């Protein structure tokens, strides 16, 4: 472990780097590097504080880069020393992307390598790190979204390492296949799209006009992304955030600009869309998104793409041929994204190999969860577009002692958007104050 400290407003930060086995079943084999940022309140850097480790959502995203004590961090620093972990393959940890994965060999070899980047490996990483930074003392695990999936695996695999589990928008289905996840997801996305158009009725025609232009011209965006109608529809992923509907509206209202040749998509629109659709900063999200649901001997087999066919409202071509609204899609990954996105094209065969894989280890132990003794709380967002409320509440009911807080005050990003309020309430629940 190496460390270097510096300050921001209201916080002392320390960069930490760790080396862990690529394969925890072969601890003497290859090792990869993990980066984490320690945060502590000024004046308490030498205090013996309990630790809280934060597991980011995704999969495939490094821990949030805060400026000072933004969002929930300031509240956490009142009681804890915080470790913001870049999970393996993300952020400043050993990268896994189009530039580095070819070092692993062909597509099949790359896919085998990536099977070690799921929740089970992440939790084993945490356990090695915990012993190094806390001296063996258990810590509180704060898991947002996919980080909550990791926290539930933690409760299944290594509860002795946890002082408490705090989960926000991240209670997974324990035994459902990816198909079950997406069959529940598409109706939620449809409701979010309807709500958006009810809020911004002028966007119905705007979206149809933009969609028709894209379907006819399939422009190539400044970063080389080939913008198809389906890709445009995928901007609906924004609708799962508290400000997502507003962001989408502002994007649509300035889409076109007059040119000598008539009308075209504005440079501003294209630049914003390029940034929104590119997976250059988080390719693991695209590669592993369906794999986080994979267990047992069944392939995911491009689940979101297959299940989409069961919901014809999301057929953009059919929508444009009729007179109804164009439906945006949500948090789904499709094979065409590996054709459109230059950051993903070299990984197309790797993605297909992962989608075809049938040898997946189980992630959750229902019997161990039923005997849980770790204090556990979870924010369940009633209108969450990304995680099904029904699935989440069924899982909550299987974890002994877990206290769910069901609220429609926030969307999936409530931990960030709600400032200190969400974490304050959940920690109050953990401590028996609420």
**pLDDT (tens digit per residue) in 199-209:** 999 999 999 99
d(CA 11, CA 288): 33
State the pLDDT confidence band at 288, using cuts at 50, 70 and 90.
very high
Q: Output the CA angle 390-392-395, nearest 5 degrees.
A: 110
Q: Mind telling me the catalytic residues? A: 145, 384, 412
d(CA 403, CA 397): 9
Do 240 and 254 contact (CB within 8 A), yes or no? no
- Residue 291's nearest CA partner among 178, 144, 152 is 178
- Specify the pLDDT at position 261: 86
| Whole-number percent of the chain with pLDDT over 70 | 99
Do 197 and 305 contact (CB within 8 A), yes or no? no
Do 283 and 95 contact (CB within 8 A), yes or no? no
pLDDT (mean) for 175-180: 96
- Residue 93's nearest CA partner among 48, 63, 64 is 63
pLDDT for 97 beyond 50: yes
pLDDT (mean) for 249-272: 96
Q: What is the pLDDT of residues 206-226, one digit of tens each?
A: 999 999 999 999 999 999 999
| Whole-number percent of the chain with pLDDT over 90 | 97
- Specify the pLDDT at position 4: 77
Q: What is the pLDDT of residues 28-56, one digit of tens each?
A: 999 999 999 999 999 898 999 999 999 99
pLDDT for 1 beyond 50: no
State the pLDDT confidence band at 302, using cuts at 50, 70 and 90.
very high
Query: Beta strand pairing status for 81-86 and 31-40?
Result: antiparallel
Do 335 and 302 contact (CB within 8 A), yes or no? yes
């Amino acid at each position: 472990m190496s460390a270097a400290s510096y300050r921001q407003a209201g916080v002392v930060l320390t960069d930490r780097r760790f080396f862990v086995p690529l394969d925890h079943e072969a601890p003497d084999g290859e090792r990869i590097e993990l980066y984490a940022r320690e945060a502590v309140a000024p004046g308490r850097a030498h205090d013996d504080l309990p630790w809280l480790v934060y597991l980011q959502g995704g999969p495939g995203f490094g821990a949030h880069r805060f400026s000072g004590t933004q969002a929930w961090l300031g509240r956490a620093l009142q009681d804890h020393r915080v470790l913001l972990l870049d999970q393996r393959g993300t952020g400043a940890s050993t990268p896994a992307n189009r530039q580095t994965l070819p070092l692993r060999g062909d597509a099949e070899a790359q896919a085998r390598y990536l099977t070690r980047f799921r929740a089970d490996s992440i939790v084993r990483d945490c356990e090695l790190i915990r012993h190094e930074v806390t001296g063996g003392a258990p810590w509180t695990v704060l898991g947002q979204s996919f980080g909550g999936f990791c926290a539930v695996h933690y409760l299944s695999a290594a509860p002795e390492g946890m002082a408490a589990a705090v989960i926000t928008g991240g209670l997974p289905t324990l035994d459902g296949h990816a198909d079950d996840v997406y069959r529940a997801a598409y109706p939620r996305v449809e409701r979010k799209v309807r709500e958006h158009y009810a809020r911004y009725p002028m966007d119905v025609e705007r979206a149809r006009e933009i969609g028709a232009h894209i379907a006819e011209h399939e422009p190539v965006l400044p970063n080389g992304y080939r913008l198809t109608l389906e890709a445009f529809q995928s901007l609906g992923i924004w609708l799962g955030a508290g400000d997502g509907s507003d962001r989408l509206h502002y994007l649509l209202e300035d889409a076109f600009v007059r040119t000598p040749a008539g009308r075209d998509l504005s440079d501003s629109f294209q630049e914003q869309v390029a940034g929104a659709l590119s997976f250059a900063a988080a390719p693991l999200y695209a590669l592993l998104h369906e794999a986080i649901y994979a267990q047992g001997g069944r392939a995911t087999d491009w689940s979101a793409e297959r299940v989409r066919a069961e919901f014809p409202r999301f057929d953009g071509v059919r929508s444009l041929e009729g007179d109804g609204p164009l439906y945006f899609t949500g948090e789904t990954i499709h094979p065409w994204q590996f054709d459109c996105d230059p950051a993903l094209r070299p990984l197309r065969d790797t993605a297909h190999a992962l989608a075809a894989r049938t040898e997946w280890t189980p992630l959750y132990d229902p019997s161990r969860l039923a005997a849980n003794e770790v204090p556990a709380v979870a924010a369940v967002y009633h209108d969450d577009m990304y995680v099904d409320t029904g699935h989440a509440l069924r899982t909550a009911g299987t974890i002994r002692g877990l206290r769910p807080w069901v609220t429609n005050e926030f969307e999936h990003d409530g931990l960030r958007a709600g400032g200190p309020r969400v974490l304050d309430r959940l920690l109050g629940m953990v401590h028996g104050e609420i």
